[in-house]
Amino acid sequence: MNIKKGQKASLEKTFSFEEVQHFSLISLDSNKIHFDEEFAAKSIFGKPIVQGPLVSSLIGGILGTTLPGTGTIYLTQETNFKKPVYIGEKIIVFVEIINIRVDRNIVTLRTWVEKENGEIALEGKAVVMILE
């Protein structure tokens, strides 16, 4: 494995209304909080929010393509949702290696998502196996 403890990777993303709609169709999540502006305006969020699983799916994108990269298989993902992500809001998704078990090709990573204003929207931990 050509990785080391403390190594980080990130990506930026802004979800569009169309992406949220598509995810609703794929996931069968018809909750109005994600796409009905009138309904969402009456909620604690004040406007439509991106589905939490859609936001957290970006972590898998980093793990499978960047760090650790191709051949990475999810074992577990712990996710704590802290703040909503709104449609049209830029976020930055991060992963950081916090432990490597070389004998089993298992890597533990801290995972988190920051909003443009620096607030943490999501935080957690992923454990992955690297196929060789």
User: How are strands ordered across the β-sheet holding 120-130?
Assistant: 8-14, 90-101, 106-115, 120-130, 72-81
In a domain, 122, yes or no: yes
pLDDT band at residue 10 using 50, 70 and 90 as cut-offs: very high
Q: Residue 63: give the domain boundaries.
A: 8-14+51-130
pLDDT of residue 58: 96
67 lies in a domain? Answer: yes
pLDDT in tens, 59-104: 999 999 999 988 899 999 999 999 999 999 999 999 999 999 999 9
- Look at residue 31 and tell me if it is in a domain: no
User: What φ, ψ does residue 127 adopt, rounded to 5°?
Assistant: -120, 125
The chain-wide mean pLDDT, for the chain, equals 94
User: How many domains does the chain divide into?
Assistant: 1
21 in a domain, yes or no?
no
pTM: 0.88
Which CATH number do you get for residue 105?
3.10.129.10
**pLDDT of amino acid 81:** 96
